[in-house]
Chain A
């Protein structure tokens, strides 16, 4: 952490473990008798307990959304661009809560935890949890923290899906829903990419049917490949051209075809920068993430469809969602493109809900929601300020 990183940062933060002894019945019918959630909070809860904001994380996120864990930390939490003093989610105004979801691998109960029934790692026996189950556990956390109503529940991508679930299942417990770069449910193409990721993990010889920890190994190659595929879907063609196209030929842009060593190898090793980048990203990820968690998270994505309880009509799902909605999407996001957000908006309008919706021009693809894109940050800040004004007006 350097001086410029300290400015506008929540600084050094310490995660806390919350233990729950209440049984949690999951959508699959299975029951978790007890569980832990790893939680970070930033800012102060006000006397009325009305300024709390819940952050829901996406596929590979965790409770560490902002700040640093130590002085030596080089990288802040995953959404530090948007959470901190003076940032879009201003920690001078809001009490911000972020947790690692159940089934995660950053400290909350998940496949790498010890199964109390067997004394061994859960591994593949950890029950599949869904977005609905996550939100159920988040409600239990809110109860524990004494937060009756969130000023806002906020999330991007899979996080945005959790926000939608909050508005449908617990509408009385939030004032605002901020849903960024999300979709009402996955498309066949989305599921197909998830299936490739899962297949690459389960076909790794070190997978051992998911019991790899019992064998003292991990399906590293499979997880790496899964992440490489995933990473391509988070970026856009234009973002990749810019990122890997710094060398200008005499024709101008080179379409992102920068060479690693300036010359072709005429072999099957890395020739282009993009190859090296994907390998590096996959490698780093496979060292820090659990393969069973990755499988579980992709299933939670695939299964998400809040319209199923309403005969496929999403607008009926929103019939009681009397919170206010703010949605944003990004022009080059082809994982959850603007059309998918517009679908949600259309159903919200059919349900006569109050909604604000912005389509942000951005080159970065799906990843844009994590980046400090000026128009995005300005609109996000303006909306969060509006929320804060409303809650101070209600208090007086």
Chain B
């Protein structure tokens, strides 16, 4: 009798442990009071801790936008630095709520990894960086080179495909951690560094003599980078994706961090709907948030263009052009579906 009671008690306790982390992600996030955001371990401009240990960057601002939309407070984020190898497992296992880590959206990640992508916050492509001293002008001259690359990335696969397609030889030098790849390139263990072009601009800055290295003109792949969530929670998926679209839409409306309070007085029905000032609007509450969600994002984080310029734009050391990431109305690909 005692035995059955005891084992039943143990069984019950054990079952209790097992059924954690299965509720709707939004409820979990609200209950714990912060968004757990998976970011890069350190990629200047995109996600890196600053001198005082605060995370800053383009992807970090995305995490902040999600927190602003949910809590009205962009600081309610905790960051989990993830390597390329562990990022998907961290998301699948529920350790993080959202992965905002310059991650390429591919069909196999969308399907077999059980993830969901939709919004692309940075359109990128893979490139090569070489020291000027090698006197290389094109990636097609790279046959026989030792190439540094991070393992477990689309980059590693594109590299193999590109060299094979062009009938070039190479020696892969592969590391799990970005810092180790950087160190290997800097010490001359390899001739070429390959990753997404945005990453190359960022990494070049961290070298001792950035001017001694050039980024080759070839872009060998499409790398749409965007946030990812687990499959099976459509509400959370919508919130994460619309936080991104809201920033793009704000830029299109010309709403900035500085003028968002004035814009609240606007009589334009589109803007009223977007900022939640329209009477009886249900757009925010239907998302599971307040109607101030978009206002909070713009007020606390800024619109897409502001976030871009602040972290990686012309006035930053990275000096990345908007290029493909300009608004659709200005010849780029950033396009938000209507907020209606």
A and B held together in a complex:
no
